[in-house]
Amino acid sequence: MRILIIEDEIPAAKQLKNLILSLDPKAQILDVLDSNSAILSWFESSENQPDLIFSDIELLDGNVFNALFQLNLTTPVIFTTAYHQFTMKAFEASGIAYLLKPIESEALQQAISKYRNLTNASQSADLRVLLDKLKLTVQEPYKQRFSVRVGQGIYLLKTDDIACLIMQNGVLHAFKANGKSLILTGSLQDIVDQMNPDKFQLINRSNVVNINYIDKIEPYFNDRLAIFVTGQPKPLVTSASRTAEFRKWLEG
């Protein structure tokens, strides 16, 4: 199996390469490309075409679809990215799997197995037809866990175990239902963007709640709402500007 890797971060490219070879020691890595211009040049000059492409989406010189759509490739592509909003474009660009970073061995193995099933089927049918008929395999698009450094070790915090997020004095605390918290790195908005919006909602500039841990809701002055969250001694209060959106979110 001849593989082309498209990735602009050297550590990520090296990690992906090692993971692929650990799953298939016979795989041949043809090259690692880091930009749209490099992709176009490579396909124009290379005679050794890949059987499968692993591709990041946001590259040094823009979105990888700029090159993929220009080349009009039929080579199957397994997308590896930190962004969940490009699934439809990925399908249009011969995508057969959409894996979110950090890439897990099991998810990668499933994607490679899907490619092999496709190539076996293509012996009796056109691969493009098969790709059009097959639904893109998409990994769960939202953050499943956070790795949190605690002392000399690392604690894995499942996203579903977070009852609420509270920003206090510039420090972001992830509270569990038992009232204990862990500190997350990054801005509150960046963290929220990675979480399932059906479960997590920003209620003011400092607080996010998980709908599964809301015990009750009471009216608060100035048409705001007091939200009682499991494990929290005091209610969290919606801001005036977020109350209407919160009410709409509750209704699904």
Going along the chain from its start, the domains and CATH numbers come out as 2-138 (3.40.50.2300), 153-250 (2.40.50.1020)
8 A C-beta contact, residue 79 and residue 90:
yes
| pLDDT of residue 91 exceeding 80 | no
61-84 mean pLDDT:
86
Q: How far is CA 182 from CA 102, 161, 196, 211, in A?
A: 21, 11, 19, 19
49-65 mean pLDDT:
91
The single-letter DSSP state of residue 211 is: G
pLDDT value, residue 125: 47
What is the per-residue pLDDT across 121-135, written as a single tens digit (0 to 9) for each? 554 445 455 444 444
pLDDT value, residue 121: 56
Q: How far is CA 27 from CA 23, 34, 51, 196, in A?
A: 9, 20, 10, 36
Its pTM surpasses 0.75: no
CA distance 47 to 189: 46
CA distance 126 to 192: 42
- The DSSP bridge pattern shows strands 236-237 and 164-168 to be unpaired
